[in-house]
Amino acid sequence: MSADFLYGIEVIINGLMAGVLYALVALGFVLIFKASGIFNFAQGVMALFSALTLVGIMEGQVPFAHLINAIFGTSIHHFGWTVPAVLAIILTIGVMVIFAWMVQKFLFRHLVGQPHIILFMATIGLAYFLEGVGDLMWGSSIKRLELGLPQGGSLAIENLTSGLGGDDFYGFFIDKLDIVATIVAILLVILLVAFSQFTKYGRAMRAVADDHQAALSVGISLNFIWVLVWSLAGFVALVAGVMWGAKSGVQFSLSLIALKALPVLMLGGFTSIPGAIVGGLIIGVGEKLFEYLVGPMVGGATENWFAYVLALVFLIFRPQGLLGERIIERV
């Protein structure tokens, strides 16, 4: 096999792994959009906020330290302890559940029955609010997320595959973190699908997604289901935040990955969990491969725009996305 061909395969593998991370972010959007018809612009900020909270808790940071110090003239920043990762993750999930409950209680409960654009605007407000709260709570410095996840290229894979090509080929370079992210994402998807298919609350969630009134009529509490859905989205955001955070540090630009999720959703369909995965993978592979094959001809940096152009093409020819929910119409 020629080295060029093998490098192409390496690009595809790396694209798949990047796509997994896009898919993770997109998943959170799908969950909320399906159950409540709300396009949650704040999903990216939720990923940022949960990652910030996780790091903050692990390092024993005092929340709102700057605020407290400014008011009381004190100078406290740390509790002086560190929290083990597992406990910190559980606490962070708790924080995201409380956040979900508050969003429902103080925001969307008062907007029931409003047009979609109003709900969308509310989530934009929510995004900026949450970003501000995150800044105020944990500070705006870039933080390292030390979860003990393996980092760097996998030597084992590199050595194993180096014999495939000629002298020009040194084996596939694959980041260990990407492998972990892929496994985590697969587990998460299996978990989510199992939850929504085989549990009572999952069934209720899908019922609410289909018909709010009918769900009410059989005694399903919409408020409870929405809190549940936002909590799940918070959990997915945490996983996405952790994976991106471990890769590039927890910083405020993390919230911009939400923008990368948009083309993924347009491609995969806003209402389909498998769609988010497939969309993420296609975008991931597509942009890496495009950069590798066409990039050099047009001066590179195609990764910045390729996903959006692809999404635009899809919007024109298949607006419901690849796997978007078919509209059932009996004839």
Enumerate binding residues for other proteins (CB under 8 A).
Answer: 112-113, 200, 203-204, 206-207, 209-221, 325, 328, 330
Residues 6+ apart with CB under 8 A from 328: none
State which residue, 223 or 248, has the beta carbon closest to other proteins.
Answer: 223
Q: CA-to-CA distance for 179 and 13, rounded, in angstroms?
A: 10
Q: Least distance (Å) from other proteins to the CB of residue 321?
A: 16
Q: Least distance (Å) from other proteins to the CB of residue 96?
A: 25
State which residue, 212 or 260, has the beta carbon closest to other proteins.
Answer: 212
Q: Least distance (Å) from other proteins to the CB of residue 110?
A: 13
DSSP 143: B
Query: Quick check: 260 and 43 in contact, CB under 8 A?
Result: no
Token code pair at residue 216: 């009410």
State which residue, 151 or 221, has the beta carbon closest to other proteins.
Answer: 221
Using only C-alpha atoms, what is the Rg of the chain? 21
Query: Where do we find the tokens 């050595």?
Result: 159
Task: Decide: helix, strand or coil at residue 78.
Answer: strand
Q: Least distance (Å) from other proteins to the CB of residue 106?
A: 19
Q: Least distance (Å) from other proteins to the CB of residue 276?
A: 17
Task: Decide: helix, strand or coil at residue 175.
Answer: strand
Token code pair at residue 71: 């008011």
State which residue, 4 or 211, has the beta carbon closest to other proteins.
Answer: 211
State which residue, 222 or 311, has the beta carbon closest to other proteins.
Answer: 222
